[in-house]
């Protein structure tokens, strides 16, 4: 299993000391593989010859996954005027890239069998960030709405993995964040690495593009010099939307650091004025509340 994730880009290795790598690789390698239908669907989505018909036939083999796709396609996130009643309609509505994020998100939800307060907190942040990503992308007229939605869902993938692999230890990390310490600071103190590294490694193991892995890796340092201009732009937007989610109270417990100043800085960097920012926050909260049961 370790060989699957050991050949990582050198950039990934700068996020942890050499002595930690055997442990990190073991944790990632110990994750269960994606369920058969989910794995096949992800591969099919990457196939340039893939069609909605093929995906419909494939998803029809997993009734639970198919039901979740329908549920999400009909959620407030996509603001459909008419109810989507078939998998084919759902695929055409949400698009292939968004479908990929939904499949992974649904699978991760199943992997975290225990669903307590902390798991709920992390999922709320993922969903709220994804909602904000769609709204911000539309507002800024970006052509990569689906990519941003996917990254919003996946940006804290590493937290879900750490919760599954080290639940007691990660609860201690969360406890520290209630005393004005960020997740990254608490994770580095506890483990010697943070959740972005674990998330990037898992995304790589599950065959996501390197750009997706890098956006996950750098969503807490979006101005990383070695990112190309396009990837830096999407990473900054994901970081911004993550902070929007936190500003609305989704993703942390009471006592967390004030994210207001960083939200204002990031808003300015992406070209969003204060009055527009408040409208986006309000709309994000409304859609989030209407969609909050989507991944339950």
Say if 58 falls within a structural domain: no
Please list, in sequence order, all residues whose beta carbon lies within 8 angstroms of the beta carbon of residue 217, skipping any fewer than 6 positions away.
11, 12, 15, 196, 197, 199, 200
Q: How many domains does the chain have?
A: 1
* Tens-digit pLDDT profile for residues 172-191: 999 999 999 999 999 989 98
Residue 78 has pLDDT above 90, yes or no: no
Say if 270 falls within a structural domain: yes
* Tens-digit pLDDT profile for residues 85-122: 898 888 888 888 788 877 877 777 766 666 688 888 99
Say if 51 falls within a structural domain: no
Residue-averaged pLDDT of the chain:
85
In contact, 30 and 48? CB cutoff 8 Å:
no
* Residue span of the structural domain in which 209 resides: 2-7+18-31+115-291
pTM reported for the whole predicted model:
0.88
Say if 79 falls within a structural domain: no
Say if 44 falls within a structural domain: no
Q: At 243, which CATH number?
A: 1.10.3210.10
Say if 127 falls within a structural domain: yes
Say if 75 falls within a structural domain: no
Residue 19 has pLDDT above 90, yes or no: no
* Tens-digit pLDDT profile for residues 244-266: 999 999 999 999 999 999 999 99
Say if 80 falls within a structural domain: no
């Amino acid at each position: 299993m370790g060989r699957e994730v050991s050949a990582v880009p050198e950039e990934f290795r700068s996020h942890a000391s050499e002595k930690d790598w055997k442990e990190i690789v073991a944790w990632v390698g110990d994750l269960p593989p994606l369920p058969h239908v989910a794995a096949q669907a992800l591969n099919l989505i990457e196939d340039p010859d893939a069609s909605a018909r093929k995906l419909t036939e494939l998803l029809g083999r997993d009734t639970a996954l198919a039901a979740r796709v329908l549920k999400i396609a009909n959620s407030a996130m996509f603001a459909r005027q008419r109810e989507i009643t078939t998998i084919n309609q759902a695929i055409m509505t949400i698009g292939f890239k968004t479908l990929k994020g939904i499949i992974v998100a649904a699978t991760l939800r199943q992997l975290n069998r225990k669903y307590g307060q902390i798991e709920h907190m992390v999922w709320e942040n993922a969903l709220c960030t994804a909602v904000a990503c769609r709204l911000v992308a539309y507002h800024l007229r970006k052509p990569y709405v689906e990519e941003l939605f996917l990254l919003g869902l996946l940006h804290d993938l590493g937290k879900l993995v750490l919760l599954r692999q080290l639940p007691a230890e990660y609860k201690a990390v969360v406890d520290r964040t209630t005393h004005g310490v960020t997740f990254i600071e608490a994770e580095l103190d506890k483990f010697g690495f943070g959740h972005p590294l674990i998330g990037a490694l898992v995304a790589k193991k599950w065959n996501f593009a390197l750009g997706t892995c890098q956006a996950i890796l750098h969503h807490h340092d979006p101005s990383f010099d070695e990112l190309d201009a396009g990837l830096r732009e999407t990473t900054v937007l994901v970081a911004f939307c993550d902070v929007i989610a936190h500003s609305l109270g989704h993703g942390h417990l009471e006592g967390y650091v004030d994210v207001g100043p960083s939200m204002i800085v990031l808003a300015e960097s992406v070209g969003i004025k204060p009055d527009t920012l408040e409208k986006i926050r309000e709309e994000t909260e409304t859609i989030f509340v209407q969609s909050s049961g989507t991944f339950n």
